[in-house]
Amino acid sequence: MTICKSLKTVLATASCLALLSGTASAEDTAWNGSLSATLSVSTGNSSNSNIGLFGNANKTTGLYTHLLDGGYLYSEADGSTSQSKGYGSYQLNRSFGDGALGLNDRFYGFGIISGIYDEFGAFRDDYYAGVGLGYKAIDTAQTTWTLDASGGLRYLGEPGSNIEPAARIASRFSTNVNERVTFSNDTSILWSPEDTLFVNDLSLTAQLTDSLSARAGFRIDHHTNAPVGTDPTDTLTYAGVTYGF
């Protein structure tokens, strides 16, 4: 109950931020995104081969942009589950393109809620909710790079069960190598008194048809204060097919 109340408080703050300085215009766009089916090899707390399903989507309505991201990994060994890991996040950005707070369209305020469930990881549960400010360092047809920072609350469970103040910084970079190939690198650092989580995911995507692409990548998750008996670093090397919409 305490967890729910705390997260609700942060999300209520995020909602107030979204309403800052007026409402969105009627301008609207359709959802865009991708779904990927992958085969992968992991090391760390789970060292095996996996199947995975990943997806992301975004939608802009006036000054507001919705960002969804998630994935799930699963594998079995000798008839028993050897990996079960899911993660997801929702971020609502509010552009300052209308000049609110004296800022321009390179800046945005946002609220975010994210979570990781890893049955065999250093921490089974890792959830975060916060609000912050972002900046579009590069925003061209070829390259995009956004930076954001936020503060909020983090819940770490199994082992322990703690709600702590937390801070998060993140970078999302993407560039077109050529007309068909895109390189992306997403980085985030989530700090709280008990532990800091570093995540980096880089990928290379090659367009095959208008809607299908091949994707390969490497992801690393590192905890600075992993519990005794667990591995602080998990890696994932993956490749698969992506459907864009």
The predicted structure's pLDDT at residue 25: 46
Domains in the chain, CATH or no CATH each: 2-244 (2.40.160.40)
The pLDDT tens digits for 72-90 are 999 987 778 888 999 999 9
Residue 244 CA to its chain's centroid (Å)? 18
Average of pLDDT values for 193-217?
Answer: 97
pLDDT of 2 over the 70 cut? no
The CA distance from 244 to 163, in Å, is: 37
The pLDDT tens digits for 118-150 are 998 999 999 999 999 999 999 999 999 999 999
Please report which confidence band the pLDDT of residue 237 belongs to, taking 50, 70 and 90 as the band edges: very high
pTM: 0.85
The predicted structure's pLDDT at residue 217: 96
Q: HSE of 57 in the Cβ direction (CA atoms, 13 Å)?
A: 12
pLDDT of 23 over the 70 cut? no
The pLDDT tens digits for 214-224 are 999 999 999 99
Q: Which of 41-55, 64-78, 96-110 is most confident?
A: 96-110
pLDDT of 13 over the 60 cut? no
